[in-house]
Amino acid sequence: KAGVTQTPRYLIKTRGQQVTLSCSPISGHRSVSWYQQTPGQGLQFLFEYFSETQRNKGNFPGRFSGRQFSNSRSEMNVSTLELGDSALYLCASSPAVMNYGYTFGSGTRLTVV
């Protein structure tokens, strides 16, 4: 059974650019969440989608956005990149409406220069 797949694994972008990250959940999982991981702030919740609807959003600026497609795949976008956006971005999927048993992908390492 394939796990959560995130692409790309690594990205280097310049300040001011925008970036799109992709996440393919485990087959059959309908809930997808995104987290940002940094050494200083740890793991912080970005947003969560279920059946193409955003159900919850963390305390991040509007430059961070996401969406979910009908096949449950999800993308997140960060516009006008800042140096502080450098982080590991993790996607997690869960099979049910309730958020039990989230499985994480290996993440996308974004470096902003």
Partner 1 sequence: GENVEQHPSTLSVQEGDSAVIKCTYSDSASNYFPWYKQELGKGPQLIIDIRSNVGEKKDQRIAVTLNKTAKHFSLHITETQPEDSAVYFCAASMGSGGSNYKLTFGKGTLLTVNP
Which chain residues interact with partner 1 by CB under 8 A? 4, 31, 33, 35, 42-45, 48, 50, 55-56, 58, 90, 92, 98-107
Min separation Cβ 59 and partner 1, Å: 9
Following DSSP, what letter does each residue of 48-73 receive, concatenated? EEETTEEEEE-S--TTEEEEE-TTS-
Min separation Cβ 39 and partner 1, Å: 10
Question: Of 20 and 106, which has the nearer Cβ to partner 1?
Answer: 106
Question: Of 15 and 55, which has the nearer Cβ to partner 1?
Answer: 55
Q: In the β-sheet with 19-24, what is the strand arrangement from edge to edge? A: 5-7, 19-24, 74-78, 64-68
Minimal CA–CA distance to 111: which of 3, 4, 10? 10
Question: Of 14 and 100, which has the nearer Cβ to partner 1?
Answer: 100
